[in-house]
Amino acid sequence: MTNETIFDKIIDRTIPADILYEDDYVLAFKDINPQAPIHFLVIPKIQIVTANDINDQNAELVGKLYVAAAKIAKQMGFADDGYRCVMNCNNDGGQTVYHIHLHVLAGKPLGWPPYQETLKTH
């Protein structure tokens, strides 16, 4: 699956986003439906559909998502307080946009585990 997603439109500026950071490889912008006081997404500028598509060839690019997250955390001043990076994968992971993205959540103690339900198995 290599269909265009809404994130391609953000990359090419067809639709607006509140962009926090950009370099040749990645783009970071605020999540439109924030789940924490600070919640933004870091995406690669080329589409990798899901975490299952991360491989030896694109591993360096995926690493750049974390590099950008750490840079932004320092710039925005929440690096020392802490934050959470999450990448959801496919249906059970809660993925809704099929272009990998690192959720970066911060701004309060986030708690763990992140789910409320009683554990169940398939």
Residues that bind ligand AMP (CB under 6 A): 6, 17, 29, 31-33, 41, 88, 94-97
Q: Among this protein's residues, is 101 annotated catalytic? A: yes
Q: What is the 3-state secondary structure (H, E, C) of the chain?
A: CCCCCHHHHHHCCCCCCCEEEECCCEEEEECCCCCCCEEEEEEECCCCCCHHHCCCCCHHHHHHHHHHHHHHHHHHCCCCCCEEEECCCHHHHCCCCCCCCEEEEECCCCCCCCCCCCCCCC
Report in angstroms how near the CB of residue 74 gets to ligand AMP at its nearest.
22
Give me the least distance between CB of 112 and ligand AMP, in Å please.
Answer: 18
Among the options 39, 101, 103, 122, which is catalytic? Answer: 101
Which residues are catalytic, by number? 101
